[in-house]
Amino acid sequence: MRILIDIGHPGQVHFFKNLIWEMKKKDHEIKVTARDKDVAKYLLDHYGFDYTIVLKHKKSLLGKILGYTIATRRIENIGKIFKADLFLSCGSVYAAKASEKCKKPHIAFDQTEHSVEQYRIYEPYTDIICTPSCFLKNLGPKQVRYNGYHELTYLHPSWFKPNFHVLNEIGLEKNERFSVVRFISWKATHDIGHKRSSTEDKVKIVRKLNKYGKVFITSEGKLPKELEEYEFKIAPEKIHDLLYYAQIYVGDGGTMANEAAVLGTPSILTSSLAKYSGTPTDLQNNYELLYIKTNISEVLNKINDLLNEKEVKKIWKKRREKMLKDKIDVTKWMIDFVGNYSKR
């Protein structure tokens, strides 16, 4: 089978990478299209994938609208030249429309309930929408639920083995206590109208964490001066190793909060969007691997509670084990589902 995979975000490189490698082993042919966004191009190069950039990343809403026609046509043309049998994406509006133009099926993998505008555009041209079983919305007859999380495609123990050497790269000992903080830019269309952390709150969080060990901040936007000393640079493919060994994660980055949680690291998600998202809600309510806290006082109190618990990582390890027993190896499921799709 000839499969075209469209990637619009760096996290989607991680999501699809194991599927790509395994499908190639089974003699399927893969073509990747992508937007030149953030570190997506770096990751695609790092993993040695052959890909075509179809559009420079557009930050403004107008740019996204104007880019829709350009990217769609380019993916359509690539699909026809490649003779794609199937299109895959994480809810790409471009790939969905291109698949319709090519008269080929499109499978979307979606876990973002609040991305309503994107869903409305891609859904009419999509045959199957795969979501985690904890996805909060019923998307109708096209929806196929799997008992896992998006993040388990690359962080399930079958596919991810932490490398402690990453600690040496940023001057840490193996057992040294440290925390990871993530602040997002809040520029995505689905972020409009939602509360973000104030500069004052960010400073309070970092100062609180700093009492317990080193703090490493990764940020999509420019940090306030008071926090610049905590910003760090690490190769994007190594961030999950760092999260695995961290004592705690705190931030408004939802994906990274989920990643920390499934790796067995205590996670505090400060985003107001979390209440609309099934994955962090499931990780909180059913496994206590993650906490959703949007009030700064609650965030600071929870940091104290977690970091004053000496056995916190051992506790989370047991909770992670319970979660992994309940959930499936999502990549393995995808290999079977996509590989057998032509037989449906």
Domains defined for the chain, CATH in brackets:
2-156+329-343 (3.40.50.2000), 165-326 (3.40.50.2000)
At 100-135, the pLDDT tens digits run 999 999 999 999 998 898 999 999 999 999 999 999
From 4-8, 52-56, 259-263, the region with the lowest mean pLDDT: 52-56
**Residue carrying structure tokens 């990549």:** 331
The model's confidence at residue 201, banded by pLDDT at 50, 70 and 90, is very high
Using CA atoms, how far apart are residues 95 and 32, in angstroms rounded to an integer? 11
Which residues are CB-contacts of 202 (< 8 A; sequence separation ≥ 6)? 183, 223, 224, 227
**AA letter at 16:** F
**C-alpha dist (Å) from residue 156 to 14, 135, 319:** 12, 19, 14
Bridge partners for 178 per DSSP? 214
Query: Which pLDDT score is estimated for 185?
Result: 67
Query: Which pLDDT score is estimated for 129?
Result: 98
From 181-195, 266-280, 294-308, the region with the lowest mean pLDDT: 181-195
Query: Which pLDDT score is estimated for 174?
Result: 75
What is the separation of C-alpha 109 from the centre of its chain, rounded to a whole number of angstroms? Answer: 12
From 39-48, 60-69, 255-264, the region with the lowest mean pLDDT: 60-69
Percent of the chain with pLDDT over 70: 94
Biggest CA–CA distance in the chain, Å, is 59
Start-end of H helices in the chain: 10-25, 40-46, 61-82, 93-102, 116-122, 152-155, 165-169, 199-210, 239-245, 254-262, 278-285, 296-307, 312-326, 330-339
Query: Which pLDDT score is estimated for 196?
Result: 54
Residue 295 has which token pair? 């009030």
**AA letter at 20:** I
What's the whole-number mean pLDDT along residues 77-96? 98
Measured from the Cβ of residue 225, the count of other Cβ atoms closer than 10 Å reads: 8
Query: Which pLDDT score is estimated for 186?
Result: 42
Cβ(264)–Cβ(289) below 8 Å: yes
Q: Of 37, 25, 28, 27, which is closest to residue 4 (Cα–Cα)?
A: 28
